[in-house]
C-alpha cells in the first residue's frame, strides 16, 4: 500500500522559522489567518487529501477517463471526491473574498496543493486548471464577466480550462488558426480545433468554462493577432442558470503515458459562442497570467511527486531486508539488514530528501513574493516581488520538474524490481510526473524565457537584486562558525551563477545561439544556487531552533548533504555553458 | 510511424577502422567470416529486424502477454516472428559449431542483438535469455547435458530462462529457499517459488529449459549452499523427443511499466524434476557465467533503446516546424523552422548521439576482448581479456543503462507534448528501457561490484593495465595537432579516474561505507573516461579516413561535443565521491 504523510512540520518550519510569516500579520489575508489557524487548516487539508484523494490515485491510473458521445466519464470515485472537495470549500482557499474566496495567502494554498498533487496528481489538475481560469478572468475580465463566472469557478462548482495548443502549433502560438467571428450582440462565434486540453470535458462539474485563444477575422498574423475568449460548455443566463449547450465538444481523448485520471481532450469548437476578455489582439497577455500561475503549479508538481516518490522509497527501504551493512550487521537477529543501511540506497534517498526540502522552501519563498505583490502597500516591495516572480517562475518550473523526475526515477530504483511492477506506486509516479517537464512550456522554453527575457529585463534588475540578497545573507551569517559550510557554499555557488550570467552577457548578445546553447545549463546553475540559498536560510533557522530537536538536527545534516553531494553538479553545468554553441551547432541538420 | 535505420555504417567503421578486426583474421570465427561477409550478414539482420520485429513493437506493448491455465500467450505475431528468426538461424549466430552454431565472433552477434533490441526490446529478451541459458550449460554442463540441451537452445527451437529471484530474495541470493531433494536416479525434485522470470512461460517454442538456483537438502546456509539445476518444462527422452510435462508452471504474470511483450512470470516448482549442473553448492559460479553475459546484454539494451529513441527524436525534430532559429530563419518559405534549429533541441540530440556512438564503441571494444578470451592462442592476451571483461562488465551494464535512460527521456522531451502521448513511440521507449537499470543486478549493485571486487582483484591488475593503455594512447597521438583536443581530454579524464581510484584505496578500505558511498560516482567517472578513450580512438580513425567523407567529419564534430559538453559531468562525480560517506550516512534510519 502506498504511504503518505503530509509534510506539515515542514510547512510549519518554513512559515514560522524561515519565511517568518508573522512579519506580515498586518497584511490582508495574513491578518485574517494567524499561523495557528493556517496550521489547523492544513491539518484538515492533510486529512482530506489522504482520506479522499489518495485512495483514488491508482483507481484513476487503472480506469482512466472514458469518452462517450454524451461526454467524458472520469474514473470511479472522482465525482464524489470532487463534490466533497467543493463542499468543503478547498478550491476557494486563496481566492478573492469578493467572489466567495477565503482570501488566504498563496503560501497556504500552495501547501494544500502540494498535498493534493502528492496524493493524486491527475485529480488535482481539474481544480488546478480551474483556478488558472479563475485567475485569468479575475485579471482581465469585465465586471460583468467576473460577476457571472468567478464565484462558481472560485468554488469549483464549475470547471475551467486553458486552450492554447492546436495540432500544428504548441510553443509557437503565432501559428494558431482558430478563428473568431464577431456577432451583432458583441459575442463571437469560435471555430477551430484545440488539442491537449486538460479537463476539456468531464463529469465532475455542471459547467466548464473554456478560455480559448483565437484570431478575430482580419486580425494581424502572428502573436499580435491573438485574442482570448470565454467559451462556456453551457451558455449562462443572466440569472446564472445554465442555458443551451454550446458548440464546444470533446472529440476524443489522448492516450498518454500517465495522468490517466485526467481527461486530455481534443476540443472541437464549431461556431461556439465566445466572449472576448480584455482587448482584442491582446489575448496572450491575459493568458500569461494563467500560464505563469500554471508554471508555478507545474513546478509544484515536480516537488509533490518527488516527495511522494521519496516517502514510498523510504518505506520500502526500511521494510525490505537484503544483504548486510558494509559496516556490520544492523539487524543481526533478522535474515538480513533493511536496505536503508546501504550507502547507495542512502545516496538516492538523501538526494531526493535534500532536493525536496530545498525545492519546497524555494517554491514557498517565491510564492510569498506573489502574496506580497498582491497585498503589500509598499511599492518597493511590490516591484521587487514582481521582478522576482518573473525571474524565478521559469527556474521553478524547469528545475523542480526536471530534477524532480530524476529523483522520482531514483525512488523507483530504490525499489529494485518491485519498482517496475505496477504492484508498487513507483511506476505511476514516474509515468505521471514525466509530463511536468513538458507542459506549460517545455523546460527548454523555460530556459530560453530565463536567459532571453527574464535575465535582461529592466537592465537585469531582478538578478542583481537577487545577487545582492545572497551577498547580504553571506555577510549576515559568515561570522557564525556553525554557518560557515553554508555561507562558503553559497558564496561559491553565487560566484558560479554570476560567472554564467556574465558569460551570457558577453557571448549571448553577439550570437543568440550561444544564449540558446547556454540556457539549460544556466537555469541549472541558477536552480542549484537558489537551493543553496534556501539551505542556508533553513540552516540558520534550524540552528536557532536548537539541534536537540531531531527535526532541526536532520535539517542541518540534510543541508550538509546537499552542499557536499549535490551542489557539485553546478560546476559541471557552468563548464558546459562556457563551451558555447559551436560544437552544439556544428553538424548540419542533414547530418543527423 | 516510428523510424529506424540500422547503424550499419557505424559497425563498419568500428570493425574496420577502430577495432581493426582484420588483425584477427587468423583466429577461429574471424577466419571463417571476413569483414565483407560479416557486413552482408548484418545487412540481412537489418532487413529481418526492421521487416519482422519492428512492426510488432507497439503490438507487444498494447497487447502484452496473457496468462491462461494452458500457458502464457505472447502478443499476436510474436510466434510467427520467432519461428522466422529460428528458421533463418539468427539465434545461433555466435554459438559453438559443435552444437549447431555458426561460430561467429560476439562482436558480430552483439551488433545483430542491438538491432533486435532497438526494433523490439520485449521480443529480444526471449532469445536473449535463451542464449544465457545456452552459455551456462555450455560452460558447466556435463557432456550428456550439452548433447541433450545445447543444439535446441542454440537454434532457439527451445527457450531458456534463469531463475534466481524469490519473493524475499533478489540481490541477496544467500536467502534463497527453493529446495532440491536428491532422487535415486541422480535427478532432484525441485520445489519453490521464483519470481520475475523473463520468458518463464510462452508459446514461442516447444520446450523451455529453466535454470534454477536451489538449495539441496542439508546444504550450508547462505551462498555456499546454492546449486544450479536444469528444469525442463517438458522432460526430454534420451532420443531428444519430449516427454511428460514437468512440475514447473507459470502461476501468474507481473503487470509492469513496460516490456509488456515479454512474459514476466511467477514460476511455481512443485517436485519438478531437475538435473544438477556442475558441482553441488557451486551453482552461483555457473550462474554468473549467465549473469555476466546478461549484464553485457542489458548494457546493450541501454544503448539500443537510446539509439532508437534518438533516431525518432531526430525524425520529429526535422519534421516539426515551430518557432524560428535564433540566428535567422532557416526555412523562410515555411510557416516556421524545423525545431532541430533550436540549440536546446540540438543539445538533447547531440547528447544522445555522442553517448550512443561512444557507448557502442565501448561495448564492441569490450566484446572483442570476450572473443579474444575464447579464441586467442596467446595466454597474455587471454588473461588481459579476462581481466578487462571483469572490470568493464559492471561499468557497461550500469553506465549504459543509466545514461541511456537519461537520453531516452531527452528523446521524449524533444517531442514536446507528443512524446507523452502513446501516438508516438517515445513513451514506450522510456517505459521499456527503465527496467534495464534494475535487472541483472541493479546499477547500485554493479557499482559495488566494481569498487568492492573488480577494482582490487589481483592487486588492481585490470585497472592498472587500463590506465597504462590510456597513457599509451595519449603518447601515441598527442603529437598529432588534430588529436590534441582528444588526448588532452583523455589525460584529464584519466587523471580524474585515477584520483577517484586512489581516494577509494585510501578511504574505502578503512571505512567500507566510504567505498559504498563512492561507488556510483566512481562508476560514472569510469564510464566517462572509457567513452573519452573511445572518442579518442574514433577520432584517430576518422582523421585517418579523411574528413572529406561527411561520416568522418560528423564523427570529429560529435567527439568534440562529447568532450566539451558531456565530459564535464565527470568532475562533478569526482567531487561528490571525495565528499565521502559522512553526510550520506549521518541521519539515523529512524530519522527518515
Asked whether residue A387 is assigned to any structural domain, the reply reads no
B63 touches chain A (CB under 8 A): no
In DSSP notation, A464-513 reads HHHHHHHHHHHHHHTTSGGGHHHHHHHHHHHHHHHHHHHHHHHHTTT-HH
Contact between residue B450 and residue B394 where contact means Cβ atoms under 8 Å apart: yes
Over residues A395-438, the pLDDT tens digits come to: 999 999 999 999 999 999 999 999 999 999 999 999 999 999 99
Q: How many CB atoms lie within 10 A of CB A319?
A: 10
Contact between residue A235 and residue A247 where contact means Cβ atoms under 8 Å apart: no
Contact between residue B20 and residue B91 where contact means Cβ atoms under 8 Å apart: no
Pair B206, B235 in one domain:
yes
Over residues B96-109, the pLDDT tens digits come to: 999 999 999 999 99
- Cα–Cα distances (Å) from A220 to A194, A502, B258, B329, in that order, read 20, 38, 47, 20
pTM above 0.95, yes or no: yes
Pair A113, A242 in one domain:
no
Q: In which element (H, E) is residue A529 found? A: helix A512-545
* Mean pLDDT, range A58-80, rounded to an integer: 98
Cα dihedral across residues B320, B322, B326, B332: positive or negative: positive
Pair B207, B242 in one domain:
yes
Q: Choose the final residue of a domain: A281, A296, A322.
A: A281
Average pLDDT in chain A: 97
Contact between residue B530 and residue B10 where contact means Cβ atoms under 8 Å apart: no
Spell out which residues of chain A touch residue B257, defining contact as CB-CB under 8 Å.
420-422, 427, 430-431
Pair A176, A101 in one domain:
no
Contact between residue B39 and residue B111 where contact means Cβ atoms under 8 Å apart: no
| Pair type for strands B207-216 and B227-232 | antiparallel
Over residues A221-273, the pLDDT tens digits come to: 999 999 999 999 999 999 999 999 999 999 999 999 999 999 999 999 999 99
Pair B477, B570 in one domain:
yes
The confidence score (pLDDT) of residue B449 equals: 97
With a CB cutoff of 8 Å and minimum separation 6, the contacts of B434 are A409, A412, A420, A430, B257, B258, B405
Please determine, for residue A536, whether its predicted confidence score (pLDDT) is greater than 90: yes
Task: Say how far apart CA A297 and CA A109 lie, in whole Å.
Answer: 11
In this prediction the ipTM stands at 0.97
Q: Choose the final residue of a domain: B112, B143, B174.
A: B143
The domain that holds B277 is classified in CATH as 2.40.110.20
Rg of chain B over all Cα atoms, to the nearest angstrom: 24
Domain extent at residue B271: 159-281
Please determine, for residue A291, whether its predicted confidence score (pLDDT) is greater than 90: no
Q: What is the SS3 assignment for B102-117?
A: CCCCHHHHHHHHHHHH
The confidence score (pLDDT) of residue A289 equals: 81
The pLDDT-based confidence of A292 (bands split at 50, 70, 90) is: confident
Q: How big, in percent rounded to 5, are the helix, strand and coil portions of chain B?
A: 60, 15, 25
Q: How many CB atoms lie within 10 A of CB A88?
A: 15
Question: Percent of chain A, pLDDT > 70?
Answer: 100
Domains contained in chain A, number: 3
Q: How big, in percent rounded to 5, are the helix, strand and coil portions of chain A?
A: 60, 15, 25
Which of B311, B416, B488 would you mutate first to test chain A, the one with the most A CBs within 10 A? Answer: B416
| Pair type for strands B227-232 and B264-277 | antiparallel
Cβ contact A171–B550 (<8 Å)? no
Cβ contact A589–B170 (<8 Å)? no
Please determine, for residue A288, whether its predicted confidence score (pLDDT) is greater than 90: no
Grid coordinates belonging to A125: 489538475
For cell 572490470, the residue is B391
The confidence score (pLDDT) of residue B292 equals: 86
Please determine, for residue A175, whether its predicted confidence score (pLDDT) is greater than 90: yes
Asked whether residue A438 is assigned to any structural domain, the reply reads no
Cβ contact A513–B326 (<8 Å)? yes
A419 touches chain B (CB under 8 A): yes
Question: Which stretches of chain B score pLDDT less than 70?
Answer: none
Contact between residue B266 and residue B197 where contact means Cβ atoms under 8 Å apart: yes
- Note which residues in 81-120 of chain B have CB less than 8 A from chain A: none
Pair A199, A120 in one domain:
no
Instruction: Provide the shortest C-alpha distance from residue B570 to chain A (in Å).
Output: 8
Pair B117, B220 in one domain:
no
In DSSP notation, B475-520 reads HHHTTSGGGHHHHHHHHHHHHHHHHHHHHHHHHTTT-HHHHHHHHH
Asked whether residue B303 is assigned to any structural domain, the reply reads no
B337 torsion bin: left (phi>0), alpha (psi -120 to 50), beta (else)? beta
Asked whether residue B1 is assigned to any structural domain, the reply reads no
Asked whether residue A35 is assigned to any structural domain, the reply reads yes
What number of C-beta contacts closer than 8 Å exist between A and B?
A: 256
Pair B180, B225 in one domain:
yes
Cβ contact A347–B520 (<8 Å)? yes
Cβ contact A430–B434 (<8 Å)? yes
A190 torsion bin: left (phi>0), alpha (psi -120 to 50), beta (else)? beta
Asked whether residue A61 is assigned to any structural domain, the reply reads yes
- Cα–Cα distances (Å) from B42 to A272, B102, B155, B245, in that order, read 57, 14, 18, 38
Asked whether residue A372 is assigned to any structural domain, the reply reads no
Cβ contact A338–B589 (<8 Å)? yes
According to DSSP, the residues that pair with A160 across neighbouring strands are: A209
Contact between residue B263 and residue B201 where contact means Cβ atoms under 8 Å apart: yes
**Residue A400: alpha-carbon gap to chain centroid:** 8
Pair B16, B117 in one domain:
yes
Over residues A341-356, the pLDDT tens digits come to: 999 999 999 999 999 9
Instruction: Compute, in degrees rounded to 10, the torsion defined by CA atoms A507, A513, A515, A519.
Output: -140
Size of chain A in residues: 592
Asked whether residue A382 is assigned to any structural domain, the reply reads no
Over residues A10-30, the pLDDT tens digits come to: 999 999 999 999 999 999 999
Cβ contact A409–B589 (<8 Å)? no
Please determine, for residue A290, whether its predicted confidence score (pLDDT) is greater than 90: no
Does residue A307 carry a catalytic annotation?
no
Contact between residue B354 and residue B10 where contact means Cβ atoms under 8 Å apart: no
Q: How many CB atoms lie within 10 A of CB A233?
A: 25
The confidence score (pLDDT) of residue B294 equals: 92
- Chain A residue closest to B335 (CA)? A175
B177 touches chain A (CB under 8 A): no
Pair A193, A139 in one domain:
no
Instruction: Provide the shortest C-alpha distance from residue A565 to chain B (in Å).
Output: 5
Pair B100, B188 in one domain:
no
With a CB cutoff of 8 Å and minimum separation 6, the contacts of A160 are A129, A130, A131, A132, A133, A134, A153, A199, A208, A209, A210, A211
Q: What are the contacts of A507-512 at 24+ separation with CB within 8 A? A: A507/A580, A508/A451, A511/A580, A511/A581, A511/B327, A512/B326, A512/B327
A409 touches chain B (CB under 8 A): yes
The confidence score (pLDDT) of residue B265 equals: 98
B327 touches chain A (CB under 8 A): yes
Grid coordinates belonging to B288: 554468473
The domain that holds A124 is classified in CATH as 1.10.540.10
- Chain A residue closest to B511 (CA)? A327
**Residue B66: alpha-carbon gap to chain centroid:** 27
Q: Where are the beta strands (DSSP E) in B284-427?
A: none
With a CB cutoff of 8 Å and minimum separation 6, the contacts of A432 are A61, A121, A122, A258, A259, A305
The confidence score (pLDDT) of residue B273 equals: 98
Pair B453, B485 in one domain:
yes
B382 touches chain A (CB under 8 A): no
Q: Choose the final residue of a domain: B111, B143, B175.
A: B143
The confidence score (pLDDT) of residue A552 equals: 98
Of B186, B326, B312, nearest to A581 by C-alpha is B326
- Which among B439, B448, B554 has CB closest to A417? B439
Q: What are phi and psi of B252, to 5 degrees?
A: 170, 165
Query: DSSP class of residue A172?
Result: -
The pLDDT-based confidence of A57 (bands split at 50, 70, 90) is: very high
Amino acid at each position: 500500500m502506498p504511504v503518505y504523510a503530509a509534510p506539515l512540520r515542514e510547512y510549519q518550519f518554513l512559515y514560522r522559522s524561515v519565511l517568518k510569516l508573522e512579519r506580515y500579520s498586518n497584511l490582508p489575508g495574513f491578518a485574517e489567518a494567524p499561523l495557528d489557524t493556517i496550521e489547523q487548516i492544513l491539518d484538515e487539508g492533510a486529512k482530506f487529501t489522504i482520506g479522499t484523494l489518495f485512495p483514488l490515485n491508482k483507481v484513476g491510473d487503472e480506469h482512466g477517463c472514458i469518452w462517450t458521445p454524451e461526454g467524458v466519464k472520469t474514473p470511479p470515485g472522482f465525482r464524489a471526491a470532487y463534490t466533497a472537495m467543493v463542499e468543503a470549500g478547498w478550491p476557494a482557499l486563496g481566492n478573492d473574498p469578493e467572489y466567495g474566496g477565503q482570501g488566504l495567502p498563496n503560501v497556504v494554498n500552495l501547501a494544500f496543493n502540494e498535498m493534493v498533487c502528492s496524493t493524486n496528481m491527475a485529480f488535482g489538475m481539474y481544480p488546478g486548471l480551474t483556478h488558472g481560469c479563475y485567475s485569468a478572468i479575475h485579471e482581465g475580465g469585465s465586471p460583468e464577466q467576473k460577476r457571472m463566472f468567478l464565484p462558481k469557478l472560485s468554488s469549483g462548482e464549475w470547471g475551467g480550462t486553458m486552450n492554447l495548443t492546436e495540432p500544428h502549433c504548441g510553443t509557437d502560438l503565432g501559428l494558431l488558426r482558430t478563428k473568431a467571428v464577431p456577432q451583432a450582440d458583441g459575442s463571437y462565434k469560435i471555430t477551430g480545433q484545440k488539442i491537449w486540453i486538460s479537463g476539456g470535458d468531464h463529469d465532475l462539474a455542471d459547467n466548464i468554462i473554456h478560455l480559448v485563444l483565437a484570431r478575430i477575422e482580419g486580425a494581424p498574423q502572428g502573436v499580435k493577432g491573438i485574442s482570448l475568449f470565454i467559451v462556456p460548455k453551457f451558455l449562462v443566463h443572466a440569472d446564472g442558470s445554465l442555458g443551451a449547450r454550446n458548440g464546444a465538444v470533446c472529440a476524443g481523448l489522448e492516450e498518454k503515458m500517465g495522468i490517466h485520471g485526467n481527461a486530455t481532450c481534443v476540443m472541437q469548437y464549431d461556431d461556439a459562442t465566445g466572449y472576448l476578455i480584455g482587448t482584442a489582439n491582446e489575448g496572450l497577455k491575459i493568458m500569461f497570467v494563467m500560464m505563469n500561475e500554471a508554471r508555478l503549479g507545474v513546478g509544484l508538481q515536480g516537488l509533490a511527486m518527488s516527495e511522494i516518490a521519496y516517502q514510498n522509497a523510504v518505506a520500502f527501504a526500511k521494510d525490505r531486508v537484503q544483504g548486510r551493512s558494509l559496516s556490520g550487521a544492523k539487524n543481526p537477529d533478522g535474515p538480513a539488514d533493511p536496505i536503508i543501511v546501504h550507502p547507495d540506497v542512502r545516496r538516492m534517498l538523501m538526494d531526493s530528501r535534500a532536493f525536496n526540502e530545498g525545492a519546497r522552501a524555494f517554491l514557498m519563498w517565491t510564492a510569498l513574493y506573489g502574496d506580497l505583490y498582491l497585498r503589500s502597500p509598499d511599492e518597493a516591495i511590490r516591484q521587487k516581488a514582481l521582478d522576482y516572480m518573473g525571474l524565478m517562475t521559469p527556474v521553478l518550473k524547469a528545475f523542480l520538474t526536471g530534477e524532480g523526475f530524476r529523483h522520482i526515477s531514483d525512488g523507483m530504483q530504490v525499489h529494485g524490481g518491485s519498482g517496475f511492477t505496477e504492484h508498487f506506486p513507483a511506476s505511476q509516479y514516474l509515468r505521471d510526473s514525466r509530463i511536468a517537464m513538458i507542459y506549460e512550456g517545455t523546460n527548454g522554453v523555460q530556459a530560453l524565457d530565463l536567459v532571453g527575457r527574464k535575465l535582461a529585463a529592466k537592465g537585469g534588475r531582478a538578478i542583481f537584486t537577487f545577487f545582492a540578497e545572497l551577498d547580504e545573507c553571506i555577510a549576515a551569517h559568515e561570522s557564525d562558525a556553525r554557518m560557515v559550510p553554508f555561507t562558503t557554499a553559497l558564496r561559491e555557488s553565487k560566484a558560479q551563477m554570476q560567472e554564467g550570467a556574465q558569460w551570457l552577457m558577453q557571448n549571448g548578445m553577439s550570437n543568440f545561439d550561444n544564449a540558446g546553447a547556454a540556457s539549460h545549463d544556466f537555469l541549472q546553475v541558477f536552480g542549484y544556487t537558489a537551493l543553496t540559498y534556501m539551505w542556508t536560510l533553513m540552516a540558520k533557522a534550524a540552528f536557532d531552533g536548537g539541534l536537540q530537536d531531531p527535526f532541526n538536527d536532520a535539517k542541518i545534516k540534510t543541508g550538509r548533504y546537499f552542499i557536499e553531494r549535490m551542489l557539485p553538479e553546478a560546476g559541471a553545468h557552468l563548464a558546459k555553458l562556457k563551451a558555447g554553441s559551436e560544437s552544439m551547432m556544428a553538424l548540419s541538420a542533414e547530418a543527423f
